[in-house]
Structure 1
Amino acid sequence: MRQIAVPLDVMLEDFDVVIEDDRWNAVDLEDLAHAAAQATLGHLGLDAETAEMTLLACDDTRIAALNEDFRGKARATNVLSWPAEERGAAIPGGDPLPIAPGIDGMLELGDIAMAYETCATEAKAAAKPMNAHVTHLIVHGLLHLLGYDHENDPDAMLMEGLEREILGKMGYDDPYRENGP
């Protein structure tokens, strides 16, 4: 797998990466997050430089508490997202509501959290490089912030198709392709 670096001419000023678990430092999370944001937003015709969002890089204990508080599920998960506003499509498989800049010209997207242990375990089980898996999950979380979902088959097909396209442009393999013969 050959990864193509997305040019980071301008680090996104309003994309905060908060690292609570030092193990994330080995992943170069800030660069991965900015590249994923630029690729995702650019693919959708949005100006990444006007996007406001936060990524919390935490551990399984913290994400399990967040998952219980916000979703009623007392277990760790790989990624959670909290959109700044509801943008879900009106019909299954449809495009989400368009995002409009706020009064300050910025696109308020929301927040994402990722758990190190779960991400590392999944990457190892799938025999994928951690950077590739983490980049996929950031793209996935960003699409959730933009109103995409995978709760039904038409929505999942749309969202997974976008993930494949975005990651493919970044030089990553199809994240949904099964490993093996």
Structure 2
Amino acid sequence: MLSLDGKVIVQRTVWQDDIGFLAVRNPQRSQALRRQGEFALGRTTIDLMFHDEDRALLARPLYAFLTVAPRSERWPAPRPVWFELTQDGDLQMFSLPDAPKLDRLRKHPRASVVVAAPPGEPEHWVSVEGSVTLRDEGGAELAARLAERYYDMSDPSHQKLVDEWCAGGVIRIVVHPEVVNRYSA
């Protein structure tokens, strides 16, 4: 038996005359346990972590505000970024390889991301905290895909900028949600 509520995973095993229990706090922090829970429940992480209205908000071309560990003499300072929600329920964005945030993410691979509905709409926001993976592969493709979502690519200056990003190398930042908070009016 396996149950997953986003905070605890409990597995009961019966072997001959013994019954064993395993309880793990915050199973979403372990990719292997996340996948085991998804398989057992027939649900994906995206279904477990995000509500329908969250996924609708995250599918829109809104800015996300990414916060990483600051340098020692500074306070955390969110940065607006383009992003997309993956099929696995992760949030991904990209950065140029010389960006200071990448050094801080290598040292402290955790981040938070906030996405909010714009003014004039009912209040709705989603906040995600989680571990981060930096990937060299897929960055250029992600940058080009997000440029299509956020830019008017018929403008030659936009295409030139995206080409420059991709030629210089682009790092993909993947945030694996561990905690999701939300508000919807």
Q: Smaller-chain TM-score range?
A: under 0.3
Q: TM-score, normalised by structure 1?
A: 0.24
Decide which structure has greater helix share.
1
Q: TM-score, normalised by structure 2?
A: 0.24
Instruction: Decide which structure has the larger Cα Rg and report it.
Output: 2
Decide which structure has greater strand share.
2
Identify the structure with bigger relative contact order (alpha carbons < 8 Å, sequence gap 6+): 1
